[in-house]
Chains A and B, each alone.
Chain A
Amino acid sequence: MEILRELFNMTALGDITWQTLIMWAIAFVLLYLGIKKGYEPLLLVPIAFGVLLANFPGGQMGVVDAQLIELEGHRYMNLFEIAHEYGIMNYLYYSLIKTGLLPPIIFMGVGVLTDFGPMLRNLKLALFGAAAQIGIFSILLGAVAVGFTAKEAASLGIIGGADGPTAIYTTIKLAPHLLGPIAIAAYSYMALVPVIIPLVAKLFISKKEFAINMKEMDRKYPAKYEIKNLKAAKIIFPIALGTLAAIMVPSSVPLLGMLLFGNLIKEIGSSTSRLADAAQGPIMNTATIFLGLTVGATMTSEVFLSAKTIGIVVGGFVAFAISIAGGILAVKIYNTFSKKKINPLVGATGLSAVPMASRVANELALKYDKKNHILQYCMASNISGVIGSAVAAGVLISFLQ
């Protein structure tokens, strides 16, 4: 009997609570969405598995509150002490996430995957990427009104930028205790872009506007000049933009600077192709694994099962929807003053979710006119949305940190 009792104590059976079971259920749902439905599997699968790991009782894989690693005199435990006291997941979290290291590393890889060509060909459309950041700041206001602190509200609002690494980076800096729910909400809504964009677009765009043919408009009102050396322009652009951003919004540099560096090593071509391959391949993939697992591991039942999580889930969706609507309305305002009309779907893609938002908008446009391929135009505002959300994050961090 004694042996059986000891055997039982050795297992985690006695530590399983109803909260544990809820967290497992959440993890299973996220795994199902990532594996079976294919919703952002590269991030949802590691995040979901991180949730599972964190909620295996006795596994020592859940991220602990920062107060526990704080020592007297504003000092913190060193990494060896953290690993010894709280396990390897806390070691990874406090070295890779809490320091803000991984999101800029991922942004470097995103930079390699980004092509500024469509934006340079349609520069004016970049402005709609600015209008689509309105969701971030609207939800900031709303969240403050319902009782979130300014830092929490900013972290919640940044979901409206539809940029996972930016949302995570901002939350690490401003409200690290909300990292898990905000990362889950951000990536879930990004995965739901094919549902959310058509939903909002149909509310605000008329059939006539859906059918605005961008190429026809280009033929009627051609550009003043053509780009004679796109390669040179694409090499100079990240250097010049990086310098400008560093001067105007220095706090956006960790994200934007790494994005532009990644883009530069791709655009230089074959002489730096090894660096570009490393940045978009092994480095980004490794960073993604650790980011996903550690963010998931912040979602212990004590942190996740709270009223604030529901607020984040609802607020994140509203932020997303307002951002899409903001971009659409900006195009509509532009169209009232300009002869050369723009399809409002170009404004809907002012979000950062690249290139999924553009693909969804293109498919939507093709439903109304089979010859209306607007992908390249949408990519212009979509890419400027990445810059816009990084700048918005920089502003929030510099004002609130």
Chain B
Amino acid sequence: MTDAIQLMLTGMGTVFFILIMVVVLGNVIIRVTNTFAVVSNQPGEPSTSGGIEPAKLAAIVSAVDVVTRGKGKVSSVEKIDE
């Protein structure tokens, strides 16, 4: 029984320690990426002139990314009036 209590304390202690480390690690990663890997909106962001909804634009960008396996970039999206 004493062993089981010891195991309980060790186990819960380890789980808390690891998840506290997850919180710390997550914060560090966010701060590092915020500092060194800020996404630039200008070059990659497609320009639109046809009033396309953001959700549709995101779907187009995502589809091009998947089809071209990350090599293709959308530079502009225009609505063609027929």
Q: How far apart are the CA atoms of A249 and B19 in the complex, in Å?
A: 12
A269 contacts the other chain (CB 8 A): yes
B59 contacts the other chain (CB 8 A): no
The interface bits of chain A over 210-244 (1 if a CB of B lies within 8 angstroms of the residue's CB, else 0) are 00000000000000010111011100110011001
A141 contacts the other chain (CB 8 A): yes
Give the interface size class of chain B.
35 or more
Across-interface contacts of B68 in A (CB, < 8 A):
270
Q: Which residue on chain A has the smallest CB distance to residue B14?
A: A395
Cβ–Cβ contact A123 & B26, under 8 A: yes
Across-interface contacts of B32 in A (CB, < 8 A):
236
Give the interface SS of chain A, mostly helix, strand, loop or mixed.
helix
Cβ–Cβ contact B23 & A124, under 8 A: yes
The interface bits of chain A over 331-356 (1 if a CB of B lies within 8 angstroms of the residue's CB, else 0) are 00000000000000000000000000
Question: B28 to nearest A CB, angstroms?
Answer: 8
Question: A183 to nearest B CB, angstroms?
Answer: 22
B30 contacts the other chain (CB 8 A): yes
B80 contacts the other chain (CB 8 A): no
Q: Which residue on chain A has the smallest CB distance to residue B28?
A: A240
Most B-side CB within 10 Å, residue of A137, A231, A244: A137
B60 contacts the other chain (CB 8 A): no
Interface on B for A, CB 8 Å cutoff? Answer: 1, 3-5, 7-8, 10-12, 14-23, 25-27, 29-34, 37-39, 65-66, 68-70
Interface on A for B, CB 8 Å cutoff? Answer: 119-120, 123-124, 126-127, 129-130, 133-134, 136-138, 140-141, 144-145, 150, 153-154, 225, 227-229, 231-233, 236-237, 240-241, 244-245, 248-249, 269-271, 273, 384, 387-388, 391-392, 395-396, 399-400
